[in-house]
Amino acid sequence: MSKQLSLSERIIIERMLAQNYTFASIARKLERSASTIAREVKNYRCFINPDSHKGNDCIHFHSCLRNRVCPDSGVHGCYGYRCKFCPEGISCISVCSAYTSSHCPKHDKPPYTCNSCDTTKQKSCKYNHAHYTAHRANAAHLKTIRTAHSGIRKSPKELKEMGELIRPLILKGQSLNHICSTHAETLGVSERTLYTYIDNNVFDVRNIDLPKKVVYRKRKERKVLTKFEYKYRQGRNIEDFNSFMDANPDLPVVEMDTVKGRRGKNRVLLTMIFRNTSFMLIFLMPDGTQKSVLAVFDHLTSLLGLETFRKLFPVILTDNGVEFKDPEALEYSSNGCPRTRLFYCDPQASWQKPQVENNHRLIRRILPKGYPFSTLNMNDVRLITEHINSVFRKNLDGETPFDRMTSEEHKKLLSSLNLSPIPPDEVMLKPELIKH
C-alpha cells in the first residue's frame, strides 16, 4: 500500500465524514491509522468565511451600525463614520466590547469540519464554515509534492564549490554524466539535478557549453536501397549477418567506418568499435582507398598474431563505402589464412551500426567537420583514442571502455598499440587537445 492517500480513498473520507463517522471508523475502513485521517482532514480542509471583510471576522460585521467605540473618537474626528469603516485604519474588533469571532469552536476538535452539520443549520450559521472535499484535497496534495521537489536545496557556499568543480571540466568538453560518475560523492546530486541548476543559471555555465544540450533536426526517413545486390555483398548483407549471429551469438562484433577531414584532402581516419566494450580504435590512413584499409588489417594481424586477431575481430560490420568493397582481401591474411568475416549494412542504413556512428560524435568534438587531417600525426590519433575511451558511459553502467577491456586479448591489443586510460579529470574532448 502506498504511503500517500489516493483520490478514491479521499472520496471515501469525504462521504464518511458527511455520515458523521469517527476518524477511527474511517481508518479501519481504509486500513490506515486514525492519526493519518485526522492529519489529512486538518491539512486539506477548506475554510469559507461569509462574514469577513478585510480581516474583520466579527459575526456582526454586516449588521453592525456602531460608531464612536474608540475612546479617542473625538480626537480622530470619526463622527458620522461607522467603526467598521474607520478612516484611521484602527481595527474596531480590538476596542469593541461586542466583538465575537466567527471562528467555530467545533473546528478545534474532531471532526474539524462542517461536513456532518445539518444543511439548514449551516445556512443560518454565522461562523466560518470548514469543509473537506476529496478532489480539492487531492489537488492541494499534488501541489504540495511538486513544491517540495522544486527549488534549490544547497547553500550559496555549496553551490559555489559545485560551480568551481564542474565549470573547468565542462570547458574541457566533459559531459555531466562523466563528471557525476567521477565526483558523485563530492557533488551529492544527480545528473538531472545538475541540468536543472544549469537551466536556472545557478552556475557560471550555460547550456551552450554542454555538448549534448543541442536540438537535433529530425532526419527525413529514407527508403533502404535494395534493388541491386552487388557481387561483393552476396552472402554478406545484413540478413546474412543476422543469420550468422543467430548461429554464433557468443562471437564479438566489431563495427567499422571512416571519418573524413576537410574536403579535397586525402587523409582519412579508420574507426573500429567493439560492441561488447564500446572501445573504439582509430587509425590514421593516407587516403580512403581499399589499399589503405588492407594495410591497417595487415598491420594489426602482424602486430597481434593471427590467432589473437581472429579472437578480437571474428565478425566485422561495415557500410558500403568504396574502401570496403574488397571483402576477400580483408577476410584473409596475406598468406591466405581466414582471419575474419565481413558483412555490410543496407545502403543508407547507418543506424544498423549505431555504436560506431554515435562515437563519431565524440571524434567531431575534437576534430570538427572541415578540420584538416593533414596536420594530424600518429601521436595525435593515439591521444584522441585514449581520451575518448576514458569517458564514463551510461551503457556500460558508469564504467569506461578501458574498464571493460579485461581479457588477455584485449590487454595484448592495448599493449601493442601503446594505449592507456586518461585520469577522469584530465579527459578533454575539445580541439585544444591536439593543438601543436
pLDDT tens-digit series, residues 52-94 = 555 676 777 777 878 777 766 555 556 667 777 777 767 777 7
Class of domain 231-434: alpha beta
Look at 122-131, 171-180, 277-286 and tell me which has the smallest mean pLDDT: 122-131
- The pLDDT value recorded for residue 344 is 93
How would you classify residue 154: left for phi > 0, otherwise alpha for psi between -120 and 50, otherwise beta? beta
Given pLDDT bands bounded at 50, 70 and 90, which one contains residue 2? low
Best CA proximity match to 362, nearest among 204, 185, 212: 212
Give the contacts of 180 (CB within 8 A, at least 6 positions apart). Answer: 187, 190, 191, 194
**Does 55 or 351 have the greater pLDDT score?**
351
Rounded CA separation 411/419 (Å): 10
- The overall pTM is greater than 0.85: no
Rounded CA separation 90/110 (Å): 36
Residue 274: strand pairing partners: 254
Instruction: Supply 192's cell numbers.
Output: 538531472
- From residue 310, alpha-carbon distances to 63, 281, 294, 297 in Å are 99, 16, 16, 11
Rounded CA separation 169/172 (Å): 5
Given pLDDT bands bounded at 50, 70 and 90, which one contains residue 105? confident
- The pLDDT value recorded for residue 350 is 83
Average pLDDT, the chain: 85
Given pLDDT bands bounded at 50, 70 and 90, which one contains residue 196? confident
Rounded CA separation 235/327 (Å): 11
Give the contacts of 389 (CB within 8 A, at least 6 positions apart). Answer: 279, 280, 400, 401, 402, 419, 421
* pLDDT digit string, tens, across residues 240-267: 999 999 999 999 999 999 999 887 667 8
The pLDDT of 395-419, averaged and rounded, is: 94
CB-based contacts of 381-385 (< 8 A; 24+ apart in sequence): 381/269, 381/282, 381/283, 381/284, 382/417, 382/418, 382/419, 383/433, 383/434, 384/282, 384/433, 384/434, 385/280, 385/281, 385/282, 385/419
Look at 171-180, 187-196, 311-320, 412-421 and tell me which has the smallest mean pLDDT: 187-196
Which sign does the torsion angle of CA 242, 243, 246, 251 carry?
A: negative
Rounded CA separation 363/59 (Å): 76
Position 215 pLDDT exceeds 50: no
Determine the straight-line distance between the first and last CA of the chain, rounded to whole angstroms. 63
**Does 6 or 51 have the greater pLDDT score?**
6
Rounded CA separation 179/398 (Å): 11
The pLDDT of 92-116, averaged and rounded, is: 80
* pLDDT digit string, tens, across residues 141-164: 888 877 665 667 778 888 888 889
The one-letter amino acid code at 409 reads E
Position 434 pLDDT exceeds 70: yes
How large is the angle between the packed helices 134-148 and 34-44, nearest 10 degrees?
90
| β-pairing verdict for 315-318 and 341-344 | parallel
